[in-house]
Amino acid sequence: MPARSRLLAPPFALLLGLALCAALAAADPPEPASRLLLVPDRVFDGAAESARSGWAVLVEGERIAAVGPRAELAGRAAGVTVVELPGTTLLPGLIEGHAHVLLHPYDETSWNDQVLREPEALRVARATVHLRRTLEAGFTTVRDLGTEGAGAADAGLRDAVAAGIVPGPRLLVANRALVATGSYGPKGFAPAFAVPQGAEEADGPDLARAVRGQIGQGADWVKVYADYRWGARGEARPTYSLEELRTVVATAASAGRPVAAHAATAAAILRAVEAGVETIEHGDEATPEALDAMAREGVWLCPTLAASEAMARYRGWNGQAPEPERLAAKRAAFRAALAAAVPICAGSDAGVFAHGDNVRELELMAAWGMSAPAVLRAATSGNARMLHLEGEIGTIAPGLVADLVAVAGDPTADLAALRAVRLVLQAGRIVVDRR
């Protein structure tokens, strides 16, 4: 989905300009070489079961011109800059399916304090660092699913990256997200105070206006909280009715925007699937009925395993047995989703934990039941399909955008190789070089 520009209100435009001007000189991307021949030990194209040894990739301008055995590409090497990448695997730029670039780890500052106490200019400035670290980790595209109290700042960041003002992955953004009145947070304040919320409250017929308003402010996706922890004992319970969710989906669809639903409970998942959402975020309490519905309708699960693990550690778990009950339930739900053939998105909920450590999600997906090649496909070609960008990114094939990452070793055998990034290309430009 193409990035969309919008007219920023003058105060926020000034804040964004001040936050980014210090990074301006260093962030100017280098000019792309007209033709590059990348020569790694092997190529994983994002779709195959294994990497292909002895292959190379020819890049012309912003796009991939050819991929195949080195000998076959040698005849096209005239006038080409050869980039030798010994000991590496070249793969498509990784895609993060669920992040919050305007948040930072909760063991640094609580979510409540980030929403209520941190100035928007500070959050934008910190987000530029998050974007750079994510790109340096080999992630060239990110779906950001909510600003968590920072208004429409995500659209400005998206446009700043697209304009080359700051380094970072391509962003698809969801604005403030939508929550039912009274269901979200921050909470715990006297009723007399109207406390700013981490998302936009809207209900009933007003949902159509809210969806249109967020799209008007630059949202590429619409995110809705189909449930949240607002039960009588603090448990997750559904928020929106089926009719309300249908209003969100229909309004978004009329503007060509897909809908992502935060949903942990089976009841909320079933309502969201019936309403027509495209992705379920979290899915912690998914039942066989809910998973079967997702598989039948082709609705993606974005499990956010790394965020769940991070929260368990923040609560005191040391990473050893016994595993906390909530984390064990999450593991069981993920494995059940795999068994039910639910399409799996690779999305970590980065922001709950450190940006740049996004690979942790991929490591957990493998530890909890997926093969390394399946995880890599989820983080490349799979996420590209989920984002409706499969004709642009996600695989190494002629005509696609040259978003590429080279890592030391073979991640199809050991995903730890993803932590050894040697080179990152973004639209044909070398933006990270650690050779």
Rounded to an integer, the average pLDDT of 173-198 is 95
Query: Taking 90 as the threshold, does the pLDDT of residue 121 lie above it?
Result: yes
Q: What is the pLDDT of residues 272-302, one digit of tens each?
A: 999 999 999 999 999 999 999 999 999 999 9
Rounded to an integer, the average pLDDT of 397-402 is 98
As beta bridge partners, residue 200 has: 178
Query: Taking 60 as the threshold, does the pLDDT of residue 40 lie above it?
Result: yes
What integer pLDDT is reported at residue 15 of this predicted model?
Answer: 40
Would you place residue 29 in the very low, low, confident or very high pLDDT band (cuts 50, 70, 90)? low
Query: Taking 90 as the threshold, does the pLDDT of residue 149 lie above it?
Result: yes
Query: Taking 90 as the threshold, does the pLDDT of residue 321 lie above it?
Result: no
Would you place residue 249 in the very low, low, confident or very high pLDDT band (cuts 50, 70, 90)? very high
CB atoms within 10 A of CB 67: 22
- 225-230-231-232 Cα dihedral, nearest 10 degrees: -170
Give the DSSP per-residue string, 362-413: HHHHHHTT--HHHHHHIIIIIHHHHTT-TTTSSS--TTSB--EEEEES-TTT
Q: Looking at per-residue confidence, does 30 or 412 come out higher?
A: 412
As beta bridge partners, residue 52 has: 43
User: Do the beta carbons of residue 359 and residue 91 sit within 8 Å?
Assistant: no
Residue with tokens 């308003």: 213
E strands within 125-168?
139-144
- 130's enclosing H/E stretch is helix 120-136
What integer pLDDT is reported at residue 79 of this predicted model?
Answer: 87
Residues in the chain: 435
Rounded to an integer, the average pLDDT of 411-417 is 98
The whole-chain average pLDDT of the chain stands at: 93
Give the DSSP per-residue string, 79-101: TPEEEEEEEEEEEEPEEEEEE-T
**Helices first, then strands: H and E counts in the chain:** 15, 19
E strands within 100-221?
139-144, 170-173, 178-179, 200-201
What integer pLDDT is reported at residue 30 of this predicted model?
Answer: 52
Would you place residue 28 in the very low, low, confident or very high pLDDT band (cuts 50, 70, 90)? low
Query: Taking 80 as the threshold, does the pLDDT of residue 306 lie above it?
Result: yes
Rounded to an integer, the average pLDDT of 317-330 is 94
What integer pLDDT is reported at residue 75 of this predicted model?
Answer: 81
Percent of the chain scoring above 90 in pLDDT: 90
Q: What is the pLDDT of residues 354-390, one digit of tens each?
A: 999 999 999 999 999 999 999 999 999 999 999 999 9
Q: What is the pLDDT of residues 217-234, one digit of tens each?
A: 999 999 999 999 999 999
Rounded to an integer, the average pLDDT of 195-210 is 97
Which among 405, 410, 397, 403 has a CA at the least distance from the CA of 424? 405
Percent of the chain scoring above 70 in pLDDT: 92
**Helix, strand, coil fractions of the chain, as percent rounded to 5:** 35, 20, 45
As a whole number of angstroms, the distance between CA 168 and CA 27 comes to 9
Would you place residue 4 in the very low, low, confident or very high pLDDT band (cuts 50, 70, 90)? very low
Query: Taking 70 as the threshold, does the pLDDT of residue 5 lie above it?
Result: no
Would you place residue 25 in the very low, low, confident or very high pLDDT band (cuts 50, 70, 90)? very low
Q: Which two tokens stand for residue 374?
A: 């399946």
Q: What is the pLDDT of residues 87-99, one digit of tens each?
A: 999 999 999 999 9
- 307's enclosing H/E stretch is helix 305-314
Neighbouring C-alpha atoms within 13 Å toward the C-beta of 245: 28
What integer pLDDT is reported at residue 20 of this predicted model?
Answer: 42
Rounded to an integer, the average pLDDT of 68-83 is 90
As a whole number of angstroms, the distance between CA 209 and CA 201 comes to 11
User: Do the beta carbons of residue 181 and residue 41 sit within 8 Å?
Assistant: no
253 secondary structure, DSSP code: H
What integer pLDDT is reported at residue 31 of this predicted model?
Answer: 52
Query: Taking 60 as the threshold, does the pLDDT of residue 6 lie above it?
Result: no
Query: Taking 90 as the threshold, does the pLDDT of residue 18 lie above it?
Result: no
What integer pLDDT is reported at residue 152 of this predicted model?
Answer: 98
Query: What domains appear along the chain, each with residue ranges and CATH number?
Result: 35-93+395-433 (2.30.40.10), 94-386 (3.20.20.140)
What integer pLDDT is reported at residue 167 of this predicted model?
Answer: 98
